Amino acid sequence: MALRWYSVVVDCLDVRKQAAWWADALDWRLVHETDDECVIIPSWVDQKVVDETPWERTGPGMLFVRVPEVKTVKNRLHVDLAPHTSQDRDAEIARLEALGARRVDIGQGDDAGATVLADPEGNEFCVLSSRTS
């Protein structure tokens, strides 16, 4: 039996702000919130979906945990986001920037196939080209 990818954990200074930012960015919803941790999951996941989906096929959520230190170096692991081919990729990048993301240079070069952004606390993520799957 395979293990289930349960969550992505993001260390941060302000768990509520980071969780809200990522929920807005991904159109997910907040399902748990304290001063020390917050959890977001896809908006379409409800109890019926959980009950009808095999354990190992349920996608991960995101857990934001409070830490005292600021981020100081490039992430060793990051999230790749991709718009659907029916979406305007540049408009999605502009939307993320309007939410507070900023473009960052991690050495990707001008010919990179992705746009590298950072969330409000500096965690890098990529926006790939549009995809159908």
Domain ranges, ordered by start, for the chain: 1-70, 73-133
What pLDDT does 1 receive?
60
Domain 73-133 CATH assignment equals 3.40.50.1220: no
How many angstroms separate the CA atoms of 26 and 19, rounded? Answer: 10
Q: Do the domains 73-133 and 1-70 match in fold?
A: yes
- Asked if 108 contacts 116 with a C-beta cutoff of 8 angstroms, the reply is yes
Domain 1-70 CATH assignment equals 3.10.180.10: yes
Query: What's this model's pTM, rounded to 2 decimal places?
Result: 0.91
Q: Could you list the pLDDT tens digit for every one of the 133 residues in the chain?
A: 678 899 999 999 999 999 999 999 999 999 999 999 999 999 999 889 888 998 888 889 999 999 999 999 999 899 999 999 999 999 999 999 999 999 998 888 777 789 999 999 999 999 999 999 8
